[in-house]
Chain A
Amino acid sequence: DIVMTQSPLSLPVTPGEPASISCRSSQSLLHSNGYTYLNWYLQKPGQSPQLLIHLGSNRASGVPDRFSGSGSRTDFTLKITRVEAEDVGVYYCMQALQTPITFGQGTRLEIK
């Protein structure tokens, strides 16, 4: 199984400041078709998860451009340029390269 490891697990951020979350996979998520099967999700309090980024760096429809995904093979980063109050929640990375599909442990972003 591919193990997904996120850091930090807790992230207090002042509104307007940037934030960054790291995700590492135990093996490369680069498929032979050239795509990297890494997604980022945000689960806001009391809600279902929502897709932020797919294929490593593609913002999902409706996601603000302050969110960006980068990285390759085994090292990935989710960045928020300026955190807003509505960004509070738990962020998960997920690999969809192979089954079992696996998620990171989650990073809880809170507002200072």
Chain B
Amino acid sequence: EVQLVESGGGVLQPGGSLRLSCAASGFPFSSYWMHWVRQAPGKGLVWVSRINSGGSITTYADSVRGRFTISRDNAKNTLYLQMNSLRAEDTAVYYCVRDLGPGDIWGQGTTLTVSS
């Protein structure tokens, strides 16, 4: 079964750091671009970052550039999002997504709450 399972969410104070993980299974992970998309409580979808299949090309939304780092370990079939200098506005469900477009797959999401 093709599947993406996110983990690592939690409750943090502003200024804190956290790493999200996304475990992929059921497809050749190393062949696909991957994305992170987030959704604040009661709000719409916001694209956060993407990484190419080999891990050499990364792109970020302005709101997270310089604070978040996307990476992947193709040997472990895992996508990561390292989040530093967290702000209250980073509070959201974070979705890992395979290749936004034909045949895209979304994980179930992991929740990050940033609050003092």
List the interface of chain A (C-beta within 8 A of B): 37, 39, 41, 43, 48-51, 54-55, 58, 60-61, 90, 92, 94, 96, 99-106
- Are B44 and A50 touching (Cβ within 8 A)? no
Q: Is B101 an interface residue when CB atoms closer than 8 A count as contact?
A: yes
A48 to B101, CA, bound (A): 15
Q: How far is the CB of A79 from chain B (nearest CB, A)?
A: 20
Instruction: Considering the complex, give the chain A residue whose CB is closest to the CB of B108.
Output: A48
Q: Count residues of chain B with CB under 8 A from any CB of chain A.
A: 19
Residues of B close to A102: CB separation below 8 A: 47
Q: Out of B35, B45, B101, name the residue touching A103 (CB < 8 Å).
A: B45
A41 to B97, CA, bound (A): 13
Residues of B close to A105: CB separation below 8 A: 44
- Are B106 and A106 touching (Cβ within 8 A)? no
Q: How far is the CB of B74 from chain A (nearest CB, A)?
A: 22
Residues of B close to A92: CB separation below 8 A: 44-45
A60 to B94, CA, bound (A): 23
Q: Out of B100, B103, B107, name the residue touching A101 (CB < 8 Å).
A: B100
Q: Out of B45, B95, B107, name the residue touching A94 (CB < 8 Å).
A: B45
Instruction: Sample 28 A-B pairs with CB under 8 A, ordered by A number.
Output: A48-B95, A48-B106, A48-B107, A48-B108, A49-B95, A50-B106, A51-B101, A51-B104, A54-B101, A55-B101, A55-B102, A60-B102, A90-B44, A92-B44, A94-B45, A94-B100, A96-B100, A99-B47, A100-B61, A100-B62, A101-B35, A101-B50, A102-B47, A103-B44, A103-B45, A103-B47, A106-B44, A106-B45
Instruction: Considering the complex, give the chain B residue whose CB is closest to the CB of A6.
Output: B44
Instruction: Considering the complex, give the chain A residue whose CB is closest to the CB of B104.
Output: A51
